């Protein structure tokens, strides 16, 4: 049992009992995620290597009979919100409730809720930092998806949960994210990373028990979010799609380093750099996985893994241009403090970076990072299990 999930579940139960009265029928939880390596590759049908983290969004839930969803979240911008099921359609909600309402919309559209599903009371509590690139949105969606299908008595596979919650985020909340976040939250496993092929959706699980190897993964939340992030993301996606067309492949995933010379002849300078990031990042994921397959990260393997993380950051900073000053500051400081490797994680333009650190250097690294960016929030994460019913 994940203690982190239990803590969020207990908090959600308290909110449920104080707001709605009575006990919930069940409590479900889904984790945030850290993408260890493989950034901005998921919408290019490439490879990613995320893990679920020991930070969860939990939802305590009970059925209703009057066709209404009631929602409250300790992390939400509202009090209790009532949404009639009949009023659920894209665009109807503009605040945080668009995420859970979108999940109800996607599930019922796919026939994943029993025809007799007649509403629910939902109370959320979360320890996933919101809006920091650790995927609080996917945690919220996956917890909701499990709760609603659980109440409806209709089991759902992790693959369907990921597919329908991504649909909810894309089409209902209007966020054009790739499949990485929802797959991570749905499929995560304790002490493991997921090697995901985002074209075939094949997932291989590799051991990633850092503490056993004397390692820690430090999250450095810059707590900044630059406003050009949203347009920057859409722009990068459009550039990648156009470059794939020019290169006559269905997605950039189909290119390798050997194609870069040919790409240089066909693409403008900026597009070439974007393509180079995606191509080299996919190759870094493969190399990182090869290292994990050789055994626990130690000695030269640990150094190589660290170098891959740091070169991922350099590529995101210089070729993909989605880093920012604060992310560069914490990454550089972590490396100066003795981290084996460090990189921004998530979409960029703010949010979080990660550093792979020997446990006995953790204090030193944290101190160096805090000195460099005093506003940064620092915490370690362990790889924890994916969405599940807690009680």
User: What positions carry a catalytic annotation?
Assistant: 181
C-alpha distances in angstroms, 160 versus 179, 217, 222?
12, 30, 33
Q: Which stretch binds ligand ADP (CB under 6 A): 128-136, 298-306, 312-320, 360-368?
A: 128-136
Q: Using an 8 Å Cβ cutoff, are 192 and 383 in contact?
A: yes
Q: What is the 3-state secondary structure (H, E, C) of 20-65?
A: HCCCCCEEEEEEEEEEEECCCCHHHCCEEEEEEEEEEEEEEEEECC
- Least Å distance, CB 56 to Mg ion, is 15
Q: In the set 2, 8, 108, 137, which binds ligand ADP (CB under 6 A)?
A: 137
Neighbours of 364 (CB within 10 A): 15
Query: Residue 126 binds which one of Mg ion, ligand ADP, none, with CB within 5 to 8 A depending on kind?
Result: ligand ADP
- Least Å distance, CB 162 to ligand ADP, is 15
Angle at 20 between CA 112 and CA 28, to 5 degrees: 40
Shorter beta-carbon distance to ligand ADP: residue 96 or 117: 96
Query: Residue 57 binds which one of ligand ADP, Mg ion, none, with CB within 5 to 8 A depending on kind?
Result: ligand ADP
By CB under 5 A, what part of segment 255-294 binds Mg ion?
A: none
- Residues binding Mg ion: number (CB under 5 A): 2
Query: Residue 75 binds which one of Mg ion, ligand ADP, none, with CB within 5 to 8 A depending on kind?
Result: ligand ADP
Query: Residue 132 binds which one of ligand ADP, Mg ion, none, with CB within 5 to 8 A depending on kind?
Result: ligand ADP
Q: Using an 8 Å Cβ cutoff, are 154 and 114 in contact?
A: yes
By CB under 5 A, what part of segment 129-148 binds Mg ion?
A: 135, 137
Shorter beta-carbon distance to ligand ADP: residue 137 or 310: 137
Query: Residue 310 binds which one of ligand ADP, Mg ion, none, with CB within 5 to 8 A depending on kind?
Result: none
Q: In the set 16, 43, 47, 99, which binds ligand ADP (CB under 6 A)?
A: 99
Query: By CB under 6 A, is residue 130 in contact with ligand ADP?
Result: yes
Query: By CB under 6 A, is residue 345 in contact with ligand ADP?
Result: no
Shorter beta-carbon distance to ligand ADP: residue 35 or 368: 35
By CB under 6 A, what part of segment 39-58 binds ligand ADP?
A: 57
Query: By CB under 6 A, is residue 126 in contact with ligand ADP?
Result: yes
Shorter beta-carbon distance to ligand ADP: residue 96 or 349: 96
- Least Å distance, CB 95 to Mg ion, is 15
Shorter beta-carbon distance to ligand ADP: residue 100 or 341: 100
Two structure tokens written together for 42:
């998921």
What is the number of alpha carbons within 13 Å of residue 161 lying toward its C-beta?
30
Query: By CB under 6 A, is residue 136 in contact with ligand ADP?
Result: yes
Phi-psi region of 84 (alpha: psi -120 to 50; beta: other; left: phi over 0): beta
Q: Applying CB under 5 A, which residues contact Mg ion? A: 135, 137
Q: Applying CB under 6 A, which residues contact ligand ADP? A: 57, 73, 75-76, 96, 99, 124, 126, 130-137, 140
């Amino acid at each position: 049992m994940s203690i982190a999930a239990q803590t969020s579940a207990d908090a959600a139960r308290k909110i449920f009992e104080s707001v709605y009265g009575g006990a919930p029928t069940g409590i479900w939880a889904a984790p945030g995620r850290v993408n260890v390596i493989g950034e901005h590759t998921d919408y290019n049908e490439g490879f990613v290597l995320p893990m679920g983290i020991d930070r969860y969004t939990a939802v305590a839930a009970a059925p209703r009979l009057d066709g209404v969803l009631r929602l409250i979240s300790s992390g939400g911008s509202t009090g209790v919100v009532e949404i009639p099921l009949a009023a659920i359609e894209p665009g109807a909600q503009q605040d945080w409730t668009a995420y859970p309402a979108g999940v109800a919309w996607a599930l019922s559209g796919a026939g994943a809720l029993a025809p007799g599903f007649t509403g629910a009371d939902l109370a959320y509590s979360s320890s996933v930092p919101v809006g920091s690139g650790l995927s609080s949105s996917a945690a919220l969606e996956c917890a909701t998806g499990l709760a609603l299908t659980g109440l409806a008595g209709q089991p759902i596979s992790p693959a369907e949960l990921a597919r329908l919650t991504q649909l909810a985020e894309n089409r209902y909340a209007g966020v054009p994210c790739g499949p990485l976040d929802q797959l991570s939250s749905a499929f995560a496993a304790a002490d493991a990373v997921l090697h995901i092929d985002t074209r075939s959706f094949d997932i291989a699980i590799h051991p990633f028990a850092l503490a056993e190897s004397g390692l820690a993964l430090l999250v450095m939340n810059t707590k900044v979010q630059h406003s050009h992030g949203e347009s920057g993301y859409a722009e990068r996606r459009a550039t990648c799609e156009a470059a794939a067309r020019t290169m006559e492949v269905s997605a950039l995933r189909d290119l390798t380093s050997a194609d870069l010379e040919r790409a240089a002849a066909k693409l403008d300078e900026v597009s070439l750099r974007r393509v180079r990031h995606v191509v080299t990042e996919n190759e870094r994921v493969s190399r990182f996985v090869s290292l994990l397959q050789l055994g626990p990260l130690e000695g030269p393997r640990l150094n190589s893994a660290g170098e891959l993380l740091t070169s991922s950051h350099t590529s995101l900073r210089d070729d993909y241009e989605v880093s920012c000053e604060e992310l560069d500051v914490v990454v550089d400081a972590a490396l100066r403090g003795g981290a084996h490797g460090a990189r921004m994680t998530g979409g960029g333009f703010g949010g979080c970076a990660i550093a792979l650190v020997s446990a006995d250097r953790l204090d030193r690294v944290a101190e160096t990072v805090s000195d460099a960016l005093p506003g940064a929030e620092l915490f370690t994460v362990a790889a924890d299990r994916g969405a599940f019913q807690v009680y």
